[in-house]
Structure 1
Amino acid sequence: MDIQVRPLTPLEGSLWEVRMDRRKVTFRSESEARAFVQTLQARLAAPHALPLAEQRQA
């Protein structure tokens, strides 16, 4: 997944945008945007167990 953090305008105090492939989420500050990205990356990297029925079919 391609994740990008960028300001929406060059003005200080502007809104920030996090792009995740084609999806966009707007935040009030850079720190909120970066905290979201940090949480997202931690969740993506976390181990995920498959349900037993799916494990048998794989």
Structure 2
Amino acid sequence: MKILVKELTRPHGNQWQVRLDQHVVTFRSESEARAFVSTLQARLQAPHVFPDRQQRATG
């Protein structure tokens, strides 16, 4: 997943945009945007346990 953080200049002040491939989330500050990215990256890199095929078939 490609993650991009960029500043947006708006008439009522700047905002920060986090783009996740085709999805966009807007934040009021750079620190909010970077905190979101940090949390997202930690969750993506966390170990994930997938159920055993047999458990899915019987459960």
Q: Please tell me the TM-score bracket, short chain as reference.
A: 0.7 to 0.9
CA distance in 1, matches of 2:55, 2:14: 47
- State the Cα RMSD in Å: 2.4
% identical equivalent positions: 64
CA distance in 2, matches of 1:54, 1:31: 45
- What SS is found at the alignment partner of 1:19? strand
Larger-gyration structure (1/2): 2
CA distance in 1, matches of 2:54, 2:14: 45
Normalized against structure 2, the TM-score is what? Answer: 0.81
- What SS is found at the alignment partner of 1:48? coil
Which residue does 1:24 correspond to in 2? 24
Which residue does 2:36 correspond to in 1? 36
- Segments of 4+ moved more than 6 angstroms: none
Normalized against structure 1, the TM-score is what? Answer: 0.82
